[in-house]
């Protein structure tokens, strides 16, 4: 953090604390204070604007549940997942799988969307940040499950076989809007949030599901 930003955030902390005086503070007060401190400590830079601090209703509900330690109301959870599933755009030409080689490059790439990128940078999927995928890649995060042998384990030997359809559709929807099957997931929604294009998602799908992909050997 540069000095100026640090100094201004400390002033904001002091101002928020002073402004609240004594007395009992509710959880909502603390939420408000936290939001103010966070807002005061970020500056807009390049393509990274302050609107990134705004949480949508689903994120708010998940965050509340996380900080309070109370599980999400099952009705709210279901509503979030159903709404997410409705946002999924299916491939316009009905073809789900592209080229696994390009998929590997996209899964490897963490480029795009940061303040030091401009809006012409082609975004990557950043998948290795959270998943093991190809065994050859030794650097990967473990927040998400391993996707090694993803298609093979799920019995996808011929992606054109109607029997493979449910798993292909599930995987597409998961990558498009990850909340569709897990309301409070930590996984980004590559399609819904416009991180990846339809074509890029097809390539990633091939990486995970094409029997010829090194992932399924």
CB of 192: closest distance to ligand HEC in angstroms?
12
CB of 93: closest distance to ligand HEC in angstroms?
20
Does 12 bind ligand HEC (CB under 6 A)? Our answer is: no
Contact between 5 and 43 under an 8 Å Cβ cutoff? The reply is yes
* Burial environment of residue 131 by CB neighbours within 10 A (0 to 12, 13 to 18, 19 or more): buried
DSSP state of 45: B
Stretch that binds ligand HEC, among 94-102, 160-168, 183-191, 209-217 (CB under 6 A): 183-191
Near ligand HEC by CB under 6 A: residue from 188, 191, 203, 215:
188
Query: Which residues in the 139-178 window bind ligand HEC by CB under 6 A?
Result: 143-145, 147, 171, 174-175, 178
Interior angle at CA 193, CA 78 and CA 93, nearest 5: 90
User: Among residues 45 and 186, whose Cβ is nearest to ligand HEC?
Assistant: 186
* Total binding residues toward ligand HEC, as defined by CB under 6 A: 22
Contact between 216 and 150 under an 8 Å Cβ cutoff? The reply is yes
Does 126 bind ligand HEC (CB under 6 A)? Our answer is: yes
Query: Which residues in the 195-214 window bind ligand HEC by CB under 6 A?
Result: 204
Give the C-alpha separation, 20 to 196, whole Å. 43
* Burial environment of residue 149 by CB neighbours within 10 A (0 to 12, 13 to 18, 19 or more): middle
Give the C-alpha separation, 209 to 74, whole Å. 32
Judged by DSSP in three states, 78 sits in helix
Near ligand HEC by CB under 6 A: residue from 61, 84, 127, 173:
127
User: Among residues 32 and 193, whose Cβ is nearest to ligand HEC?
Assistant: 193
Judged by DSSP in three states, 48 sits in strand
Give the C-alpha separation, 78 to 84, whole Å. 10
Stretch that binds ligand HEC, among 29-37, 41-49, 114-122, 186-194 (CB under 6 A): 186-194
Near ligand HEC by CB under 6 A: residue from 100, 104, 108, 131:
131
The residues of the shown chain that bind ligand HEC, judged by CB under 6 A, are 107, 125-127, 129-131, 143-145, 147, 171, 174-175, 178, 182, 185-188, 190, 204
């Amino acid at each position: 953090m540069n000095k100026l930003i640090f100094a201004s955030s400390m002033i904001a902390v002091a101002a928020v604390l002073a402004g609240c005086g004594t007395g009992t503070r509710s959880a909502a007060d603390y939420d408000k204070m936290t939001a103010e401190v966070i807002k005061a400590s970020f500056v807009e830079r390049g393509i990274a604007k302050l609107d990134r601090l705004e949480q949508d209703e689903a994120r708010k509900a998940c965050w509340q549940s996380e900080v309070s330690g109370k599980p999400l109301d099952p009705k709210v959870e279901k509503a979030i997942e159903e709404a997410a599933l409705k946002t999924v755009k299916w491939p316009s030409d009905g073809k789900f799988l592209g080229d696994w080689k390009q998929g590997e490059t996209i899964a490897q790439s963490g480029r795009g969307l940061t303040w030091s990128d401009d809006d012409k940078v082609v975004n990557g999927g950043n998948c290795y940040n959270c998943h093991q995928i190809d065994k050859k890649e030794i650097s990967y995060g473990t927040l998400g499950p391993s996707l090694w042998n993803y298609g093979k384990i799920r019995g996808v030997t011929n992606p054109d076989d109607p029997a493979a359809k449910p798993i292909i559709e599930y995987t597409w929807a998961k990558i498009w809007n990850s909340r569709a099957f897990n309301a409070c997931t930590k996984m980004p929604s590559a399609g819904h949030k416009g991180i990846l294009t339809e074509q890029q998602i097809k390539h990633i799908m091939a990486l995970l599901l094409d029997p010829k992909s090194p992932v399924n050997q």
